[in-house]
Structure 1
Amino acid sequence: MGSLTLTKMLRHSRLALVGGAILALQGCGVIYKTTGDVLISFGRSEMLPYMLTFDDVRMACVTGEAQTPLLMAFERVGSHPEKLGAMVFTTAATCAEQIAIDAELRYMRAVKDGNVNEAQDARIEQKRWSAVAAQRQYTAYQNMLTAFGEQKEGECPKLKTDFDELVWMVGNISGVQALLNDGASDGAVGVPRDLAAKVERNMKCLENDKWWGVPRGARAAVWNLLPMLAPPNAEPWKELEASAKAGFDGGVRLGSALYAMSAFSKGDDERMRKAIRDFAANDQNLDPEYAMMDAIAGFIVTGISDREWTENTGKRTPIGGLGTFWDDAAKSGPAINIDDLL
């Protein structure tokens, strides 16, 4: 009897230990999810609005690179970081884009100098980092879809707050950028080609005047990229000019960046120069609440200017020289002294 009793006691003890271990693990899961929910709530209500007031794109991109894995890991325990994920993957992509641009400028200088090996190496580096940027931007787009769902023609998601609308706008723009960077990487990521049509449709769900003319500007940029998506009698350049002006009036110059990107991709030198000049001339009365959005626009426009300057002079845009061009003096007299700028 004593032996049987001892056996039963040991069995019960083992069951109690196993049960305790299971409860402890479940308790950890609850703690992790609670931590994730608190972190995501703090990120939405405090961290993101605070970061949007910064005009330091590098800080935003490094923050995105460093914090995104931690934030997205809470998805595994039942939290929902997808909306913030769309934002942080977008900012993280700017780090990769900057390295890709620097490699592209190195390629241009090497071609100018006749250094074949350097040019080939720079082009490989550019394609690698373009692929990284495309993957991050496409992931931002996918996070946005996870948060709001994919919409059919004529449908819109329930965008309940300004934060929701911002995520929808940024996620869709990241989708278009993913397409462009994937193209620069020779299709290394495999971003679906039909994404542009979906973005064009999705941007109808936002109020144009509220968001600095960006929704219609983004649609017009897609029309320039893929004319078959344009509605009858569409005037993409007129829409892009209106988008740029709305951005100048609203203090966030994303529309101007879209105009410059579209002109650059179409090889329209006259419009590209106008977009860059206008962007540089409208740097007053910016909205401090969305300084980061304007700074990202500046990052895009400066990248285009740097490509043009490097291709023609071997050097990127001089300090304080955004909105000027190397041949300004030849066109309009001695209006600019490049040596002074350098």
Structure 2
Amino acid sequence: MKFRSKARGALRVAALGAALAALPGCGMVYKTTGDVLISYGRAEMVPYLMTYQDVGMACATGEALTPLLLSFEAVGSHPDKLATLVYTVAATCTEALALEEELRYMRAIKEGRVTEAQDARSRQKELAEISARRQYEAYSRTVGEFGEADNGKCPRLRNDFDEMVWMIGQVSGVQSLLNDATADTTVGVPRDVAAKVERGLACLDNEKWWGVPRGGRAALWNILPMLKPDNADAWAELERATRIGFEQGVRLPSALYAISAYSVGDDDRVRRAIREFANNDTHLDPNYAMIDAIAHSLIKGISDRMWTEATGKRTPYGGLGTFWDDTRSSGPAINIDDLL
């Protein structure tokens, strides 16, 4: 009996030793798997996802893949570039939910339902906080991978993929600031992110990237005038960027124009931006359909806020680019019920 007990003990020790010896091999297998996943994501998944027009699909992809992708950091893989993208699209989920709560708040205020308004505002802030955390993580990953643009020096961006990641990371940095402000600065996104993004966008070719670099900088000049260079005309820059975006079939600069105008309360420019966006929905670039679809969701969000504040209802289905007080050139008002 003692012999069998000793034998079993020896077997346990041997098994434990074998398991421990196998661990480094498992780590190598996991790292290889992570490297392959990251390579596949960059070469195949991202270009494929960019052709989708379904922002909800991108949102679900971001929320589902981010934990899996980032877990490979523990075994030595480096997913920072893809992390920028998946965190950014994951934030579209919570931003959409936050918008719904904002609209609910506006309806409740309009109808005098104070308790519901308070509840909606609290939920909006919770979701804005999550969005800000995701977007700031996307920005931080970008900076972690490439470094910062400073003193006129730009990071080394080796190819189109690097440039796209850099651009999306910079835009996410600005979005994180805006959402953090909504969430009462709970996340604590540094205030100097705006100035860093303004410098960072200058590292990209404006014509190549649909006018977004100059358009994004000009939008920041309007929101934060202390960043504007002497003699710069922010609205002229935004208008040029918008034209480039329309010509190249990616309307993100138009959305930046609308966001900038809405932020400073310029109702005429907001309406013009929304109308022009809606009227330039043909000849879109199919290779970047997702970027344009995200721009559409941003424009639609502004339109829904304006409609809800005025009427208690969001933009009618198929009515983007119209407003409740529109009149035809012949004189009579548009029948909004026709749009419903």
The interval holding the TM-score normalised by the smaller chain is over 0.9
Q: Which residue of 2 aligns with 1:4?
A: none
For the pair 1:265 / 2:263, whether they are aligned, the reply is: yes
Q: Which residue of 2 aligns with 1:44?
A: 42
Q: Please report how far the alpha carbon of residue 53 of structure 1 lies from its aligned counterpart in structure 2 after TM superposition.
A: 0.1
Contact kept, 8 Å, 1:209 with 1:246, in 2: the verdict is yes
**Structure 1: which 5+ residue stretches go unaligned?**
1-6
**Separation of aligned partners in 2, 1:54 and 1:160:** 26
**Separation of aligned partners in 1, 2:144 and 2:64:** 22
Q: Please report how far the alpha carbon of residue 336 of structure 1 lies from its aligned counterpart in structure 2 after TM superposition.
A: 2.6
Q: Please report how far the alpha carbon of residue 151 of structure 1 lies from its aligned counterpart in structure 2 after TM superposition.
A: 3.1
Matching residue within 193, 202, 205 for 1:204:
202
Q: Which residue of 2 aligns with 1:170?
A: 168
**Separation of aligned partners in 2, 1:94 and 1:331:** 38
Matching residue within 178, 181, 198 for 1:180:
178
Deviation by residue 1:186-222 (Cα, 9 ceiling, x = unmatched): 1111110000000000011100000000000011011
Contact kept, 8 Å, 1:257 with 1:275, in 2: the verdict is yes
**Separation of aligned partners in 2, 1:67 and 1:12:** 43
**Separation of aligned partners in 1, 2:63 and 2:106:** 28
Give the SS at the match of 1:210: coil
Q: Which amino acid aligns with 2:53?
A: D
Q: Which residue of 1 aligns with 2:96?
A: 98
Q: Which residue of 2 aligns with 1:158?
A: 156
Contact kept, 8 Å, 1:241 with 1:259, in 2: the verdict is yes
Q: Which residue of 2 aligns with 1:279?
A: 277
Q: Please report how far the alpha carbon of residue 155 of structure 1 lies from its aligned counterpart in structure 2 after TM superposition.
A: 1.2
Matching residue within 215, 220, 223 for 1:222:
220
Per the normalisation by structure 2, the TM-score is 0.95
Q: Which residue of 2 aligns with 1:247?
A: 245
Give percent identity, aligned residues only. 64
**Structure 2: which 5+ residue stretches go unaligned?**
1-5
Q: Which residue of 1 aligns with 2:3?
A: none
For the pair 1:89 / 2:87, whether they are aligned, the reply is: yes
**Separation of aligned partners in 2, 1:240 and 1:31:** 49
For the pair 1:107 / 2:115, whether they are aligned, the reply is: no
Deviates more, 1:18-27 or 1:216-225: 18-27
Q: Which residue of 1 aligns with 2:313?
A: 315
Q: Which residue of 2 aligns with 1:234?
A: 232
Contact kept, 8 Å, 1:57 with 1:296, in 2: the verdict is yes
Q: Which amino acid aligns with 1:134?
A: A
Contact kept, 8 Å, 2:325 with 2:333, in 1: the verdict is no
Contact kept, 8 Å, 2:328 with 2:334, in 1: the verdict is no
Q: Which residue of 1 aligns with 2:211?
A: 213
Q: Please report how far the alpha carbon of residue 226 of structure 1 lies from its aligned counterpart in structure 2 after TM superposition.
A: 1.1
Give the SS at the match of 1:303: helix
Give the SS at the match of 1:329: coil
Q: Which residue of 1 aligns with 2:335?
A: 337
Corresponding pairs, count: 335
Q: Which residue of 2 aligns with 1:54?
A: 52
Per the normalisation by structure 1, the TM-score is 0.94
**Separation of aligned partners in 2, 1:332 and 1:218:** 38
Give the SS at the match of 2:314: coil
Contact kept, 8 Å, 1:305 with 1:317, in 2: the verdict is yes
**Separation of aligned partners in 2, 1:85 and 1:333:** 53
Contact kept, 8 Å, 2:223 with 2:260, in 1: the verdict is yes
Give the SS at the match of 2:202: helix
Give the SS at the match of 1:328: coil
Deviation by residue 1:283-308 (Cα, 9 ceiling, x = unmatched): 00000000000000000000000000
Q: Which residue of 1 aligns with 2:31?
A: 33
**Separation of aligned partners in 2, 1:177 and 1:126:** 15
Q: Which amino acid aligns with 1:293?
A: I
Q: Which residue of 2 aligns with 1:77?
A: 75
For the pair 1:22 / 2:20, whether they are aligned, the reply is: yes
**Separation of aligned partners in 1, 2:271 and 2:338:** 21
RMSD (Å), alpha carbons: 1.9
Q: Please report how far the alpha carbon of residue 232 of structure 1 lies from its aligned counterpart in structure 2 after TM superposition.
A: 0.7
